[in-house]
Structure 1
């Protein structure tokens, strides 16, 4: 977000901070639990969602990149012993509860034996559901990369679920926030 000190997850969409909107959508879908991994400005992020039914975990190593947040989130989720973990990025304002439910349903339909990936027009995006058989690999990721290489190199089948533009629209810049209908706040 440049030198402004603003945080993309505190940008408002229809008057609601993006992190709150994302946490509400995740909490209202077919998931059994929601874990929110915080990093930069974690107190502000936590304050935006403290009244929601989510588990907050802080990643003090967030400056090292996205992989450390994935590892922290997977480690926290393992306590619930899920057959799969959906990794959802909170900076995707076009995602809906129906999108998440269709991804979860596909994972259940395939008996938790594959990776389920959201796509838009055949182009891979997010969220992605990973089965428990590769949690260790998710926790071993490093740097500022997500799990794209892990997906490519996995021997598990990858099932794409078409959800439309919600799979691709994320807001990493002030211009992207504005283009998606958001208002950047400090």
Structure 2
């Protein structure tokens, strides 16, 4: 992607939820290969071509922000995180600078996502003439992160509850699926079993 294109794609890291399915320990702060799960995710974002990197925090926000305090990121605190994932997506979109034409939505519990994958999605989105959304797939199954165009801003603002962009994308014809050969798009730390699976494979 051209340097011009790179300047117009941001990353929004969603790191505000409680992650209740994981158990009493905050899943974003658990250690994986010597560093917190959220640190893996944000380092991948920072190492990519995307700029800026916006991290939406909420639950245990002080601890999450402390994990990231030496990284060049913009923190957006979501006081309404208890209302569900949509509140964080809306907060992240609201923090986008005027020059951002799209945002790569990166979930804070997906530590296997790499800078190269983020770059690849940004480049494909740019090359495909900036569709409303670009969704990676593996063997026909949709995964994350997704690229959301700025043109979806109003639709994102109308979301509510514990949902991401899925309801928006299902209703549109201008969403492009992008097959990738990277199982990271389907791997998250949703449960302790998920963490063990990722740890064993890393």
Same fold (TM over 0.5): yes
Partner Cα separation in structure 2 for residue 114 and residue 143 of structure 1: 22
Larger RCO, structures 1/2 (Cα 8 Å, 6+ apart): 1
Q: How does 1:1-186 map to 2 (within 5 A)?
A: 1=20, 5-77=24-96, 79-181=97-199
SS at match of 2:147: strand
* Alignment size in residue pairs: 181
Residue segments in structure 1 that go unaligned for 5+ positions in a row:
none
* Conservation of the 8 A alpha-carbon contact between 1:103 and 1:161: no
Q: CA deviation at 1:4?
A: 5.6
Go from structure 1 to structure 2 and tell me whether the alpha carbon gap of 1:142 and 1:108 turns closer, same or farther (over 3 Å shift): same
Distance in 2 separating the partners of 1:63 and 1:21: 24
* Closer/same/farther in 2, CA of residues 82 and 2 from structure 1, 3 Å limit: closer
CA offset at residue 157 of structure 1?
A: 3.3
Query: What is the TM-score with the length of structure 1 in the denominator?
Result: 0.91
Q: Aligned partners of 2:187 and 2:21: how far apart in 1?
A: 20
- For the residues of structure 1 that align with 2:154 and 2:127, how far apart are their CA atoms? 23
Q: Identify which range, 63-72 or 111-120, moves more after superposition.
A: 111-120
Structure 2's unaligned 5+ residue stretches are: 1-19
Q: Displacement, 1:163? A: 4.2
Deviations 1:89-129 (A, max 9, x none): 01012211111111011111012133111222221011111
Q: State the SS of the aligned residue for 1:180.
A: helix
> Whole-Å Cα distance in 1 between the matches of residues 169 and 144 of structure 2?
12
What is the distance in 2 between the residues matched to 1:26 and 1:168? 17
